[in-house]
A and B are shown apart, each in its own frame.
Chain A
Amino acid sequence: MKIEEKLFKTKFKADAHEHCHLKIKDREVCLKCEFKPCTTFCPAQVYTWDKEKIIVGYENCLECGSCRIACPYYNIEWRYPRGGFGVQYRMG
């Protein structure tokens, strides 16, 4: 089962783009980051590398907080989505 199919099973209430809760602080830092582990450890594949920059698919964020703690350069600004938005677990 692919990650896209897994995420399809989970309910999200995505906020508008201007309220995106995840932000790369400095894009230059990602260029020197050798392994870009955010693209592998994130359980929702929020971060993907697109030739020259990290794309942030915040809509699928499961709000675990891993990227805030494990980005080797602490280069991810992590906030909670606004109240009522984001992942909505039905089972937990």
Chain B
Amino acid sequence: MYYIVINFTNDTMADEKFDCIIVGAGPAGLSAGYTLAKAGLSAIIIERGDYPGAKTVMGGILYSHAIGELIPDFCKEAPLERPITEQRVLLLTEDASIQAGYKTKKFAQEPYNSFSVLRAQFDGWLAQKVDQAGVMVIPKTLVDTVLKENNQVIGIKTDQGEILYADCVLACDGINSLLAQKAGLHQEWQPQDVALAVKEVLTLPKEKIQDRFNLEDNEGCAIEFMGTISHGMTGIGFLYTNKESISLGMGCLLSNYQKSLIKPYDLIEEVKSHPAIKRFIDGAQTEEYLAHLIPEGGYNRVPPLYTDGMLVCGDAALLVNSIHREGSNLAIKSGILAAQTVIEAKNKKDFSKKTLSLYKKKIEESFIIQDLKKYRRLPHLLHTRNELFSRYPQLASEIAAELLTVDGRSKAEKEKKIIAKILGTHSLCGWGKMAFDFWRATR
């Protein structure tokens, strides 16, 4: 683990003005810091945790593409768990499961597609890289608010009252970005904009993991599951293999939790005892219990990304593609784009809204907004079509049972029963509308 101990004193720091102050040493802030350091700008990253990673939670799958753009050799040095070579999706009902999957050796070679990671370790490594590149990471320090002069953000104030000045402040402070709120960029999120995820890291010997998931040393498995297990709440569970542990969790919309009165820790216990999951984690010991909010609002809820002297990156700007469980790569990419904007603003010697709007343009031209835009109608659909988490999985399970059970009834009779079940759920017209709604929501 990586520690830096620096005490602010009024003499050493207060008079100094940075090109950029970055709040939050997560993937967005660290990527921005690294990019600025490489360009020779003066920057500082302020992190409220005891060490970078102390406050971060991720499922966690890290895609190679964005981090590879930042540090091409990352897979040789970063603390990564397993390259993901197999992905499975499970549809769960109370006592049954339907499964689909894809496995390829190609994902076990360069360029790796993705890795399972434990973020407390990964963030510590990335912070070290940033520090070596020349940008200090100051932990144990909470940024309380931004300082403004003539509506322009000119610096920050810490909870200990220290003041630091900069041409530009990057809010990379995660989903609970009080800083962006205080700067007047947006109001509070709504309960349907976020999912509450709880997770356990369960330790299990390497051999057992590889046996149970049919893996070699350099292979990993990522399983997503949904179904009646979430009791009608819009939610997805995940199970990822690490080297010698399993990350198991479940996230459901906070608005659903608010109404259902289900306790997230009870739900994760139900998940752990489901027959399709239980066997994977049998004998594993809970090593850590975690909780975090995940942005789910999509394109329509992305807040303003900039104001005079300030940019917002990563989760703080709700930049998460939850359909493809991509978050950290969007954070990394947005951090890089924010830093590139700061570099251009520095060249122009202008950090006004007008120049910083370049960041929005860059984000819009990248995969970040293009992907979010593609799925812009999906969050609303998932909020309103909760059959996906109740009736549909049940129906699918009943159809599978009907098809696979040999009990002396003729296939024609079974087929009739299946059609009756399908039409008992929706009319043909209803199914047509459902299919159209989903097609439209992903266009």
List A residues at the B interface (Cβ < 8 Å). Answer: 1, 3, 5-7, 9-10, 13, 35, 37, 40-41, 43-45, 62-66, 68-70, 72, 74, 78-84, 86-92
Contact = CB atoms under 8 A, between A and B. Distances in A.
Nearest to B54: A88
B191 A43 contact: no
Nearest to B47: A83
A65 B91 CA distance: 29
Contacts of A13: 50
Contact of B290 (A10, A35, A68): A10
Contact of A70 (B55, B254, B262, B289): B254
Contact of A82 (B60, B159, B198, B286): B159
Interface stretch (B118-126, B319-327, B390-398): B118-126
B218 interface: no
A73 to B, nearest CB: 12
Contacts of A81: 48, 142
B290 A80 contact: no
Interface residues of B, number: 56
Nearest to A44: B291
A88 to B, nearest CB: 5
Interface string B135-165: 0000111100000000000000011100000
A40 B291 CA distance: 14
Given A43-B196, A45-B265, A83-B158, A92 B48 contact: no
Nearest to A88: B54
B1 to A, nearest CB: 9
A70 B57 contact: no
Give chain A's interface secondary structure class. loop
Residue among A79, A84, A92 with max Cβ neighbours from chain B (10 Å): A92
Nearest to A90: B120
B288 interface: yes
A-B pairs, 3 with minimum CB distance: A92-B119, A84-B140, A92-B120
B289 A41 contact: no
Interface in B97-128: 118-123
Contacts of B258: 37, 41, 70, 72
Given A6-B286, A84-B50, A88-B50, A68 B56 contact: no
B248 to A, nearest CB: 12
Contacts of B139: 83-84
A82 to B, nearest CB: 6
A92 B264 contact: no
B293 A66 contact: yes
B263 interface: yes
B290 A92 contact: yes
Interface of B: 48-50, 53-58, 60, 118-123, 139-142, 158-160, 175-176, 178, 188-191, 194, 196, 198, 200-201, 245, 254-255, 257-259, 261-265, 269, 272, 286-293
B49 A88 contact: yes
B123 A92 contact: yes
A9 B268 CA distance: 15
A41 B196 contact: yes
A9 B50 contact: no
B48 A80 contact: yes
Contact of A69 (B58, B191, B287): B191
B188 A68 contact: yes
Contacts of B291: 43-44, 62, 64, 66
B53 A89 contact: yes
Given A40-B261, A88-B49, A92-B118, A63 B55 contact: yes
B286 A89 contact: no
B53 A66 contact: no
Given A69-B293, A92-B123, 5 more contacts: A6-B200, A66-B293, A69-B194, A83-B140, A89-B56
B58 A92 contact: yes
B188 A87 contact: no
B293 A9 contact: no
A90 B288 contact: yes
A64 B293 contact: yes
B200 A87 contact: no
A69 B190 contact: yes
B265 A70 contact: no
8 contacts: A5-B286, A9-B287, A66-B254, A66-B293, A70-B255, A83-B48, A84-B50, A91-B288
